[in-house]
Amino acid sequence: MQCFTRQGTKAEEKALDEESQRIAAENASRLGLQDDADLKFLLKGCSLCKVRSSSWKKDRFYKLQEDCKTIWYDSKKINRCAADNIFSIKDIECIRQGHESEGLKHHASDNPSNRCLSIIFKDYARTNLDLVAKSEADANHWVSGLNKVIKNSGSMSKIQKLEHWVSIRLQKADKNKDNMMTFEELKDFLHDINIEVEDLYAKELFKKYDQSGSNKLKKEEIEEFYKELTKQEEIDNAFIEYSGKDGTMTEAVLLKFLREKQKEDVGPEYAARLIEKYELNEIAKKDSKMTRDGFLMYLLSPEGNILNPAHKEVYQDMKQPLSHYFISSSHNTYLMVGQLNGPSSTEAYVKALSKGCRCMELDCWDGSDGEPVIYHGYTFTSKILFKDVIQAIKSYAFKASQYPVVLSLENHCSLEQQTMMAQHMKNILGDMLLTKPIDGKTEEFPSPEDLKGKILVKGKKLNGLNDSDDSVEAGDVSDEDEAAEIDNEAVQDQLKNKEKTAKLKLSKELSDLVVYCKSIHFPGFEEAKEQPFYEMSSFDENKAFRLAQESGHEFVLYNTQLLSRIYPAGGRIDSSNFKPMEMWNVGSQIVAMNFQTPCKEMDLYQGKFQENGNSGYILKPSFLLDKRSKFDPNSSTPGEWLKPKAFKVKVISAQQLPKANPSKTTSIVDPVVTVEVHGVADDNAEKQTQCIKNNGLNPQWNETFEFVVNVPELALIRFLVEDYDLISRNDFIGQYTLPFTSLQKGYRHIPLLSNSGDQHPSATLFVYTEVTE
């Protein structure tokens, strides 16, 4: 949006209003919401009270813009550009109605719940937008309308998303809103879509498509011009190779393509289903044929994605013992940013759960008024009530996944407040809380299937799983290694002095809630052979990496019978992360990461856990489950794990890449692609394409790389796109990571994800992959 005040004659203003309404109607139609009352209300806009604190509550005007993708609001800040007063629908994680955020609970509890709403953003660093509407009807319009826009935007086909993306940029370039484009507007359009071409070439193209000779391109001429710019020759060549003289593929020919190029073991019914689903031409569809447009639609669909669609659902055996699974786990879950200062928030738990996290950490300390609190002890991070965290977990534990959640307690509380913790968990969680062995299972772990909908507590325990609780009183237990995570000299001194004075006393009520996850100090690999299955240890990354390097095979065997939790070293005060691969390679189930920090390590983490329906549980390979396994990730010992694959990938092109830094409107990206293999040490490798200058719209590489993947069941493939810089570090544009065993062969589009792990609306890579023995 430009920084200007609309001025002109009434006729001009009327024409602009009519054009805005036409554009809004067109975009509403793309969303399938052309006659929707909620959407019409959002497009008109209304005043809402923005709440920041008990003393800061101000009315602001909010409206959905004509693109149906961004929300504009007024601001009283002096010299603020209107372009700063917008946020995108794609940045919203969810909308909640009622007092469902910390801000509204604490600062607007006197307002009727049905008039309150919160817009929750995906980015951890971005504050929730807490609002109070003038009426319940207004609040309902906003909640219902935004939910529809988000849902329908997500369900648009790739072609529809591309059309919407182009339409918005054309509207932005059309300065005088006459629905036509001059040469100067065309140059602005090209710049906005991230491509730079020489004036001479641009003029030639402009002249070619200006059929009327009016020095303006009409809408249909602009569309043809854009098609010329975005032509994907590799797709055309693949289609021509298989299509007949009439320019179509028959069902039989499409099946041949699927088997020969895509290496899919499918039958005629699958080819017929693709034609029925993706062919746009009704005549061709009736004749069971696929045109070039239908072929493109298929390649841009989930079936044409590099990730096997079957792995987007829960497809693994979920009836094995809990210790047989990698479990998505968060470290210091309550933190929104760094480890020494900054906010703790219940919202951090909600965000982690929405990303499929199944094991979360709660650092518990004595609070005022007898109420335990959660924060990073001996630091300046803010505090949140333990009971508020448990309430948030109850509300969101099973929205993303039905499989069990583990609460990892780091307990620093007095006996009285430990008992209060136990009471809160029992009262708030009710039947969700596991308080005794399920179905009498006391010899081995129950399965994730057995534990669906259950919340488990991990912590210290005064007795064993089979011992009677009746005779046990509160008592001393040795402290957990994790009590001193912060690598800060002053903080360490405080901890050491405090811990010299007394051992941790454990409340019987809290101890009783620990069933299958009893925390103990690591006794050593030999001694651990005598441990009962329900005892588990936690390791900081330094100790864990040392053990993995020095005793990789012993660590593998340890994790075949016991759970282990690995967490980041205390020196990571910026909430950075370690590489999780080495810990998965030795079979560690609970590899805890700082979810709040976008980084390469979290890319790998989310890439691994996106399979199996994003359930938060991934079944470990059989060689990491066998108690007699000979597997050692540090050696190339032959075994069932050694299944060398030749992996060949041709990086063909990219489409609609975003600018690396959107605030630099004059910049055009110089994209470069890196293909990375992450797995056991022998498999780790990466290769990079050449840089394509000044083209983020449709850069073409056509470069082929070859890798050998020796242990495919532990390998991840990461595709990274960056803006190349000769003298400084490349800027991140997008990436996509997936398990090697989930990779589809043949011609595939790869959706690119942002730094925070969210999908860019229309940015993709196009590749051709082969996997052979």
DSSP 444-455: SPPPTTTTTT-E
Residue whose C-alpha is closest to residue 610's, from 308, 385, 378: 308
At 199 the pLDDT is 79
Please give the Cα distance from 597 to 575 (Å, whole number): 6
Q: Is 331 a catalytic residue?
A: yes
Residue whose C-alpha is closest to residue 219's, from 15, 18, 22: 22
At 509 the pLDDT is 95
Please give the residue that has the higher pLDDT: either 281 or 377. Answer: 281
Residue whose C-alpha is closest to residue 520's, from 464, 460, 568, 589: 460
| Residue type, position 389, single letter | V
Q: Are 483 and 456 members of one domain?
A: yes
Strands (E), 168-278: 249-250
Please give the residue that has the higher pLDDT: either 616 or 474. Answer: 616
At 435 the pLDDT is 95
Mean pLDDT of all residues in the chain?
88
Please give the structure tokens belonging to residue 479. Answer: 């402290």
Q: How confident is the model over 211-268, as pLDDT tens digits?
A: 888 888 887 787 777 777 777 888 888 899 999 888 899 999 999 999 999 999 999 9
Pairing verdict, β 70-73 and 86-88: antiparallel
Please give the Cα distance from 753 to 738 (Å, whole number): 12
Q: Are 187 and 66 members of one domain?
A: no
Residue whose C-alpha is closest to residue 93's, from 154, 45, 27: 154
- CA–CA distance from 239 to each of 283, 426, 649 (Å)? 19, 61, 20
Is 640 part of a structural domain of the chain? no
Phi, psi of 695 (to 5 degrees): -155, 105
630 is in an annotated binding site: no
572 is in an annotated binding site: no
At 610 the pLDDT is 95
At 477 the pLDDT is 60
Over residues 497-505, mean pLDDT = 57
Residue whose C-alpha is closest to residue 207's, from 190, 191, 186: 186
68 is in an annotated binding site: yes
130 is in an annotated binding site: no
Residues contacting residue 170 through CB under 8 Å, at least 6 positions apart: 181, 189, 222
Is 477 part of a structural domain of the chain? yes
Is 557 part of a structural domain of the chain? no
66 is in an annotated binding site: yes
Please give the Cα distance from 349 to 342 (Å, whole number): 16
Final residue of a domain: which of 229, 254, 276?
229
450 is in an annotated binding site: no
Q: Can you give the CATH number for the domain in which 132 is found?
A: 2.30.29.30
216 is in an annotated binding site: no
At 19 the pLDDT is 75
Asked whether residue 32 carries a pLDDT value surpassing 80, the answer given is yes
Q: Can you give the CATH number for the domain in which 659 is found?
A: 2.60.40.150
Is 560 part of a structural domain of the chain? no
Please give the Cα distance from 108 to 53 (Å, whole number): 8
Final residue of a domain: which of 519, 539, 559?
539
Please give the Cα distance from 592 to 182 (Å, whole number): 55
Cα 273 to its chain centre, rounded Å, is 30
Which one is catalytic: 99, 331, 749, 760? Answer: 331
74 is in an annotated binding site: yes
Please give the Cα distance from 516 to 446 (Å, whole number): 9
63 is in an annotated binding site: yes
Over residues 138-158, mean pLDDT = 89
Please give the Cα distance from 36 to 255 (Å, whole number): 41
Q: Are 89 and 222 members of one domain?
A: no
Is 517 part of a structural domain of the chain? yes
CB atoms near residue 503 (< 10 Å): 11
Please give the Cα distance from 320 to 448 (Å, whole number): 7
Please give the Cα distance from 469 to 463 (Å, whole number): 7
Asked whether residue 4 carries a pLDDT value surpassing 60, the answer given is no
DSSP 79-110: T--GGGSEEEGGGEEEEEESS-SHHHHHH-TT
Domain that holds residue 238: 233-304
Is 464 part of a structural domain of the chain? yes
Q: How confident is the model over 681-724, as pLDDT tens digits?
A: 999 999 999 999 988 888 999 999 999 999 999 999 999 999 99
Is 297 part of a structural domain of the chain? yes
723 is in an annotated binding site: yes
Residue spans of alpha helices (H) in 563-615? 581-585, 600-609
Please give the Cα distance from 431 to 454 (Å, whole number): 8
481 is in an annotated binding site: no
Please give the Cα distance from 583 to 535 (Å, whole number): 19
Q: How confident is the model over 727-742, as pLDDT tens digits?
A: 888 999 999 999 999 9
Residue whose C-alpha is closest to residue 461's, from 530, 430, 507, 423: 507
Q: Are 471 and 357 members of one domain?
A: yes
At 468 the pLDDT is 58
Please give the residue that has the higher pLDDT: either 573 or 485. Answer: 573
Is 135 part of a structural domain of the chain? yes
Model confidence at 652, pLDDT cuts 50, 70, 90, reads very high
Residues contacting residue 545 through CB under 8 Å, at least 6 positions apart: 578, 582
Asked whether residue 6 carries a pLDDT value surpassing 50, the answer given is no
- CA–CA distance from 248 to each of 236, 286, 290 (Å)? 12, 13, 5
Please give the structure tokens belonging to residue 399. Answer: 């929205």
62 is in an annotated binding site: yes
Q: Are 266 and 240 members of one domain?
A: yes
Over residues 39-62, mean pLDDT = 94
Query: Given phi > 0 = left and psi -120 to 50 = alpha, else beta, which region is 440?
Result: left
Asked whether residue 84 carries a pLDDT value surpassing 70, the answer given is no
- CA–CA distance from 280 to each of 177, 249, 290, 297 (Å)? 31, 13, 9, 9
Q: Are 392 and 406 members of one domain?
A: yes
Model confidence at 78, pLDDT cuts 50, 70, 90, reads very low
CB atoms near residue 505 (< 10 Å): 13
Over residues 97-106, mean pLDDT = 90
At 474 the pLDDT is 65
Model confidence at 353, pLDDT cuts 50, 70, 90, reads very high
Q: Are 137 and 251 members of one domain?
A: no
Q: Are 28 and 98 members of one domain?
A: yes
Q: Are 76 and 177 members of one domain?
A: no
Q: Is 376 a catalytic residue?
A: yes
Which one is catalytic: 99, 164, 324, 376? Answer: 376
DSSP classification of residue 441: -
Final residue of a domain: which of 190, 211, 229?
229
Please give the structure tokens belonging to residue 127. Answer: 């504050």
- CA–CA distance from 588 to each of 325, 559, 591 (Å)? 9, 6, 7
208 is in an annotated binding site: no
Please give the structure tokens belonging to residue 453. Answer: 């909908």
Please give the Cα distance from 726 to 705 (Å, whole number): 23
Over residues 296-318, mean pLDDT = 94
Please give the Cα distance from 331 to 335 (Å, whole number): 9
Model confidence at 491, pLDDT cuts 50, 70, 90, reads very low
Q: Are 459 and 470 members of one domain?
A: yes
Number of domains in the chain: 5
Give the torsion sign (CA, 631, 635, 639, 644).
Answer: positive
CB atoms near residue 292 (< 10 Å): 16
pTM comes to: 0.88
Over residues 21-48, mean pLDDT = 90
Most confident of the following: 14-28, 367-381, 544-558: 544-558
Over residues 385-409, mean pLDDT = 96
Q: Are 373 and 488 members of one domain?
A: yes
319 is in an annotated binding site: no
| Residue type, position 496, single letter | K
Residues contacting residue 130 through CB under 8 Å, at least 6 positions apart: 50, 51, 52, 101, 103, 104, 107, 108, 116, 118
177 is in an annotated binding site: no
Q: Are 402 and 504 members of one domain?
A: yes
Please give the residue that has the higher pLDDT: either 152 or 316. Answer: 316
In the chain, what percentage of residues exceed pLDDT 90?
Answer: 62
- CA–CA distance from 385 to each of 125, 362, 421 (Å)? 21, 11, 10
Q: Can you give the CATH number for the domain in which 277 is found?
A: 1.10.238.10
Q: Which pairs with CB-CB distance under 8 Å and at least 24 residues apart come from 94-97?
A: 94/120, 94/354, 95/119, 95/120, 95/142, 95/143, 95/146, 95/147, 95/150, 96/120, 96/143, 97/139, 97/140, 97/143
Asked whether residue 624 carries a pLDDT value surpassing 50, the answer given is yes
Contact 95, 143 (CB under 8 A): yes
At 756 the pLDDT is 85
